[in-house]
Structures are given as C-alpha cells and as structure tokens.
Copies of this chain bind each other. A is one copy, B any other.
Amino acid sequence: MSTAERAIAGLKEIVGDVGLVLGSDLAMRSCDPFRTVPPRGGVLVRPANTAQVSAVLRWCHAHGQRIVTHGGRTGVAAAAYADEDEVVLSLERLRRIEEIDPVGQLVVTEAGITLEGLQQAVEAQGLFYPIDLGAKGSATIGGTIATNAGGNRVVRWGMTRANVLGLEAVLADGTVVCAMNRLVKNNTGYDVKHDFIGSEGTLGVITRAVLKLVPAPNTQQVMLASLPSFAAVLQLLGAARRLHTLSAFEVMWQDYYALVARSGGYACPLTPEQPFYVLLETMGYQQGVDERLFGTFVEEAFNAGWIADAAEATSERQIAELWRVREGSEALMREMNPFVAFDVSVDIRRAEEFVNDVRRHLARRYPDFKSVSFGHLGDNNLHLGVHIGTRTLDEEHAIERCVYEVVRQYGGALTAEHGIGRLKRPFLPEHVSAGAMDVMRRKRSAFDPDRLLNREVLF
C-alpha cells in the first residue's frame, strides 16, 4: 500500500467519503493564489468538526503522517504548498457562526468561514470586525489568525492578534486545546491563544475562535493628498494620530502613483508630480461632527504646507475608486510583469532613506531595474515591487538577498504581514536574534516534537 492509499483508508474511517477530496477534484485546487500549484500528496481530508480534526490528527500522529493545513489558500508565502508525503487538512467544512453577542461585542465562529462571510454576518447586527484584506472573499478566519493577518486598518484596530479573544486549536497529537475566552480581562494562567496566532500552522490547527467586534461605524471620509516631501508625510501622520476616527494612513511614493496613473483604468484625481501621495481614511460614529473635524484637519494640513493638493471622495463610488488606486495590483501586474514583491517594516522616520538605499543597492546590480514603493506607513509597513525585465524571476533570490540585506541594516522586519511560509524561510535566522530562534525551536519541539504540521514552513 502506498502512503497515499494508507492515508485514504485510515482517514476515510474517520471522515467518510464526503470528508475526502482526491484525484482530479484535488488536482483542480491550487495551493497558491496566483498560480496553479496542486497539493502533490494527492490526499485532502476535510473533517466536519473539532472531534474529527482531533481524530484525523491522532491518526496522522500514530502513523507519522505529515500534514499541511489549508484555509482559503490566499497566502503569498507558499505556506499552503504540500509535498508528496503530506496530507492536506482543510477546514472548509467548519464554517458555522455559533453566536453573535452584541453586549460582549464578540462573535463565536468556526475557523473555516471566510473573512467576508463573517464581516457580513456581524454587520447585519450593527457590529464590525475591523480586519480587512483584498482576499477577504476567500481568506478564512482560521487562516487570518494562523498568519496574524494585517491589512489596511491596523493603524486603528491592530493586527488580527489584537482582535482575537479566544480560540480552540488541535495539537499534532490530537490534543484539543480549548481557550475560547470571551472576556476582555482574563489573566488565568498563560494566555495560550497567542501561541497559535501567527504560528503559521506549525503549532496546531485552529478550529474555532472568539473575535472581538466594535460598533459598526456610520461615517467615513476618504481623501487622496499629494505631499511635497517626506517630512510633510511625517507631519501629516503626527496630526492624523490625534484624529480618533483615523482608520487608514496609506502612503504611495511617486513611482507607484505615477505608474497607476499612467496605466489607465484608474480614476486618479491628482497629477503625478509630487514625491508622495497619501490615502487617508476616517471612520466614526458622529454624523456631522466627524465630517467637521476632518474638514478642519485638512484645512490645517493645507495651511501648514504639508499637503500640496487633495481630492476628497464624496460618494461610495469615489471612495471605492480612491481605494482602487492604492490597491492598484492590476496596474502593477500589467506594467511590471513579472515583479518580486516585498512586505517589510522599517522605522517610520527612516522610511524614505530606506527606500533610497534599496534603490541604490538594486541600481548597482541591475542598472535598468524598475521599482515601486507604497504601504501602511503608520504601521511601519512598506510594500515594494521590483522588476528587472524578463530576467526578474531568474534573479528573484538575488533580488531578495539584496533588499533583505538593507532591511537587516535598518533593523527592519523581513515580513510585516504576509508571514514567512516556505518562501522566506531561508532568510528567517538572519532576521531574528539567536535567543528568539532558540525559543521558537523550544516551542515547536514542545508542541509538535515530530514536526508533522507544516514541516517546511518557518524554520
């Protein structure tokens, strides 16, 4: 019996036929959001509930069977790729919302529901889950927790970690860890949920969660502004932080904004002549007051000379259009195809200098490179795209080495929100301290001594 046959026979006992995806059905699934990369092991198991997840993991543990966990497969760090000797464990059948509590301001849910599905369910009750991503239609709650997803509104509401009250996870040996805390204040022992948040599926499989909600905002302002200097960007950020309603502060370097503006298909209200562009969003609860405060803020920013020009959205459609400029991925795909993408964090004060240094390093090696820079500056997070013509993918690793070396010199983060996965694994040990690596290894050995879960991920 082959490994796959053994797994199919053993797992069918637990989950039945409906709980297995095999053959051509499986071959149509991709582990990558952009390319077709089917799981190579040929077996996907999809348990119906926590008890089945536990039984599946117990069986795998008893048979030394490696597992790769699948949420919505929208991650860009290859953490969902599965090798020939790996069985895929999908949470897709655990997608029930168990309870929405408007007083405790929380939702209790299974992990396989999509982010968008959850957002819509809580919004129907006047509540709001603030984590928001482009991939929300496919990304699952479990996946966003396992990767500590970020997105555009971290400046106000924090990363996913800050929005998880409790969770349930299953360890590699099948042990169910129920930590479904619903209380804001709870110091009853170690807060074990944090072990699983951001662990990229290496310490356990997240099956359920309790998420924190806020009242649904009913005001929103979005402005696109052009700024004459990086100093002006920092001034504007400092002032914006005193707006309680600030929900996004997105910076675009001229190279990015000009590329999107030139590319066509975008409603770009400002000419691409200034060095920086900022998309600023507020969300609040005080109709009238919020608008007035925002107006005063913009006026003061103009008077102080921080803003050269600005366009405010006055309709839902315009809001969506301005956000499309910031999320201009089609333009990038078209104008810089293919490109190497970076998701790093740096000291805000040095972000301009950092980008210039990266460009200098790239220019030395690739005189005709093209790059764009943009990101969630209030959270330190910069995204860079680098293109060097048709050789781009051949040179991918060398380009990464070049950029990450500058990141390291600046004490920056190798990954701000996308995670390490398989892709950035070679770079991890250079970007954390030896002591932190030691703790990571101790934890992984304690939770999964046989390294059965997502073995090729992280380290």
Contact = CB atoms under 8 A, between A and B. Distances in A.
A412 interface: yes
6 contacts: A101-B347, A179-B432, A189-B432, A190-B458, A191-B197, A445-B446
A195 B447 CA distance: 14
Interface of A: 101-105, 147-148, 150, 154-155, 158-159, 161-162, 171, 175-179, 181-192, 194-195, 197-199, 203, 214-215, 234, 237-238, 241-245, 284-286, 289, 293, 345-349, 376, 378-381, 411-420, 428, 431-433, 435-440, 442-443, 445-447, 458-459
A411 B182 contact: yes
Contacts of A198: 187, 190-191
Given A415-B187, A443-B190, A446-B446, A177 B436 contact: yes
A184 B245 contact: no
Contacts of A445: 446
B436 A178 contact: yes
Contacts of A181: 413
A245 B458 CA distance: 40
Given A179-B435, A289-B289, A442-B446, 9 more contacts: A154-B184, A158-B162, A159-B184, A159-B185, A177-B435, A179-B432, A183-B413, A186-B345, A186-B415
User: What is the copy number of this chain in the assembly?
Assistant: 2
Nearest to A176: B435
> DSSP majority for the A interface?
loop
Nearest to A420: B189
A420 B190 CA distance: 10
Nearest to A170: B435
Nearest to A449: B442
Given A414-B188, A416-B186, A433 B349 contact: no
B187 A148 contact: yes
A413 B187 contact: yes
A134 B116 CA distance: 42
Contacts of A439: 171, 177, 190, 192, 195, 447
Contact of A147 (B162, B187, B447, B459): B187
A198 B289 CA distance: 40
A411 B191 CA distance: 16
A148 B439 CA distance: 20
B440 A443 contact: no
Contacts of A244: 244-245, 284-285
Contact of A183 (B199, B345, B418): B345
Contact of A104 (B289, B348, B436): B348
A348 B165 CA distance: 15
Most interface-central of A197, A244, A284, A459 (chain B CB within 10 A): A244
Contacts of A415: 186-188
Given A175-B438, A198-B190, A245-B244, A150 B185 contact: yes
Contacts of A293: 286, 289
Contacts of A413: 181, 183, 185-188
B162 A162 contact: yes
Nearest to A160: B187
A380 B188 CA distance: 14
A416 B185 contact: yes
A90 B203 CA distance: 34
